Every structure is written in C-alpha cells, then in structure tokens.
Chains A and B, each alone.
Chain A
Amino acid sequence: MEEQGEKIATNIRKGVLEYCVLALLAQGDKYGLELADELVERNLTASEGSLYPLLARMKTADLVTTRWEESDTGRRRKYYAMTDRGASHLRQFDAVWNEISGQVGELLGRRHEHD
C-alpha cells in the first residue's frame, strides 16, 4: 500500500515540480541547494538530483535566468530568478491547478458521501 502511494505521489510531483520551482522563485531569487531543501521539506521531490536538469531546461525555455553571486564563505553561487515568461506560466498554472484540484476534491468528496 505504501509503495502504491509513493508511485502516485511520484507521478503527480513530476507534473507540478516545474511550477513549484517557479512558485518558490516568486518569493525571491534562490540558489540550487535552497530550492532543493525547500522542495524536500515540503515533500515535493524524492530525488534532489533531478532538480538540476529541470532547472537547465527551464533556463533554455526562458522561464528562469541565472547569475553568479559570492557566498559568505567566498564561494560562487549560482542564483536562479524567475523571468516574466516564468511568471506568466505560473499564473496560468495557478488557474489550471485551482480548476483541477477543485474538481478532483469535489469528486473525492462525493465518493466519501456514498461510503
């Protein structure tokens, strides 16, 4: 049962991870590990490694930009920031997600009533 639950979660996360990253960046610019930590904390990703190919893809698609900044310890950090295009994608996702989660919630609610 646990295994099945993990499978479902993996499938759903896959579709929304990109928008979760955009939503996190909407709060402010972040570097890789910051994004990874927040996603793991919220249980939105199981493997932090796949975050980096995703970020590279989002950069190619002009959803995020990167810049280098120095950390307190003097090491270079790659910061990610959301572009206007990224913000517009996030707004569209917001609308779609509201619609879907509303409908799904209603269906599940109705099912509970029949139980």
Chain B
Amino acid sequence: MNMTENHGAVGKYLEALDHELRKVPPARREAVVADLAEHIDEARERGRSDDQIIAGLGPVQAIAAEVQADFADGAVEMEQRAKRKVLGFIALAAGVLAAVVDTWIYPSLNVDEFWPDWLHSSAINYDASTRFGAGLMLLFLLPGLMVAAGSMMKSPAARICRTVAAVIVTALPFVIGFNLGVFYLPLIVAAWMIVGVSYPRQQRAQGRRHLPLRMTAGLAAGVPAAALLAGLATGTVETGVLGITVLAVLVLAAVGAILGLRAAYWVLAACGALLLVASVFDMGMLVLGFWIAGTIYFFAGLAGLLRLQPAQKA
C-alpha cells in the first residue's frame, strides 16, 4: 500500500474517501481506505489506467454511505449500553442513599406522627429497626442491586428482566407502605429509564426534539423560581444573597432547559443530587420534600443529559 505513489486522480480519490469517512471510527476508516488502495495497486498491475479504475470503483460518497450505514446500528447499541451503565450506577447509588436515609435517619423523625391516616404506611416496627438496622438496609440495597444488575445484562432476555425489576421496585412501596416506600422513588425512576433506553427510539422531526422533556424540565426549575420570586416580592422570604442566587440559578436553569442547553441540565442534575444528599443531614420533616424535589430535579436533569446529544443542541 504505497500511498506515496498515489498522486493525481487516485490520490485525490483516496483523500476524498478518507474525508467522507471522518465520522467513522479510525480503525474502520483506515481499513476501508487500505482495502481500496490495495484494489487500485492490483488493478494498476494489470495495466488498467487510473481513470478506468476510479470509474469502476464508483463515487466515494456511495462507498462512505455503505460504511456509515452499517456502523450506525452498532453505534446506537453502544450508546444505549453506555447510558444503561450510567443509570445502573445511579440505581445502585439511589439504593444505598435510600437505605442510609430511611433506616438510620427516618425513624428518629417521628414522621408517623404527621403521616396522614389515609395513606398506606409501613407495618415495619422501628423498634426492630434499631435492633436489625443493618438488616433493614437490605430492603433498599437489594432492589438497588437488582436494578443495577439488570442494566448490565447483555442476554436477549435482558429487556424482560429489566422490566420485571422495574415492576418489582414500583410495587414495593405499595407492599411495605408509602412512608418507607417514598424513598424508593429515585430507584423506581432509574429502573424505568433503564427500561426506556432498552428500546430503539424513533428520531423526532428537527426543531421539535424532546419538547415534552424540555418543557417538564423547564417547569421543574421555573415553578419554584416563580414561587421564590413571589416570596421575595411580597417579603415572605427575606431578600438576601442566598435568595437572589437561588432565584438566578433557577431562572437560568429553566430558560436553559427549555432551550435545550446541556449546561442547564447539568445544573438541574447537580441541584437534584445536592437535595437528595441533603436529606441525609436534614432532620426535620423537610426530608420528604427534599427527597421528592431532589428526585424530580436530578432525573429531569439526567434525562436531558442522556437524551440531548451534544451534536444536536436544539
């Protein structure tokens, strides 16, 4: 493969092909160009003219299209696998965090005192939890592990396993009661997102990409921003550096989320993670609010980061 010999028309042809293949992984790109270079060398040895050879090979665009076509399917699968891996780790983290918050902190809150009677609550006795605290953690750790394991599976039955895992974690709050079950929320969302990225998604029309997602994320950041603004305006909330900063961050995140900017979704996910982790330190009844708001923010941000590809900023 003496590429140095390939001046003139042949050199230009191979260069043009190489350029057309710029989005294909380097290994494949080099292999195809090398194959064609070999073809050209062999054909030259048989006394064919360069123009004849090039005419026989056909347009470089057609060759590149062939390569890209069969690479595209594999790329989608690779991308989905990477997304599932991220979600699997998040599911595991959600299980660990829920176990910590729920088993060690929650019993000291006496949430049961203000828990509404009409909402199914846990039959688990917290006296038992002080004795079997670590064992009770398994209630959250095991479902987290189950969802994470499903996300890593590769067999054809993986989709079914993931769906079953999602159904099981969704059913858990109904079984053990919502006062404990609310802590399954992040795990449930992660489990269903894993199911979601197991199926091929149809491309949406340009310009209207992910509109429901962007609107939901915008609302998640925008509604508290509006509430905070009203609070600041009426003096219910004290005007301070913190209030203004939070307001600015929320407004920017809301606008950015609606516009589909990745940075805005990073902010949302970070705020959500912060709120979820803050649940560990907050000892008041706010823990439930922190937990639910954190879940919404985190997954709204995460969904944006996973769905919106860098190349197609809306």
Binding site for B on A (CB under 8 A): 31-33, 36, 40, 46-50, 52-57, 73, 75, 77-78
Contact = CB atoms under 8 A, between A and B. Distances in A.
Contact of A48 (B31, B32, B38, B56): B56
B69 to A, nearest CB: 8
Main SS class of interface, B: helix
B237 to A, nearest CB: 61
A40 B36 CA distance: 16
Contacts of B62: 47, 49-50
Interface in B217-263: none
Sorted nearest first, the 7 A-B pairs with minimum C-beta distance are A47-B58, A49-B57, A53-B66, A33-B42, A49-B63, A52-B35, A49-B58
Given A40-B56, A47-B57, A52 B70 contact: no
B220 to A, nearest CB: 43
A48 to B, nearest CB: 5
Contact of A57 (B35, B36, B39, B70): B70
Contact of A46 (B31, B36, B58, B70): B58
Q: Which bucket holds chain B's interface residue count?
A: 20 to 34
14 contacts: A32-B39, A32-B42, A33-B46, A40-B56, A47-B59, A49-B57, A52-B63, A53-B67, A56-B28, A56-B35, A75-B41, A75-B42, A77-B38, A78-B35
A103 to B, nearest CB: 29
A33 B32 contact: no
B45 interface: yes
Interface string B26-38: 0010011001101
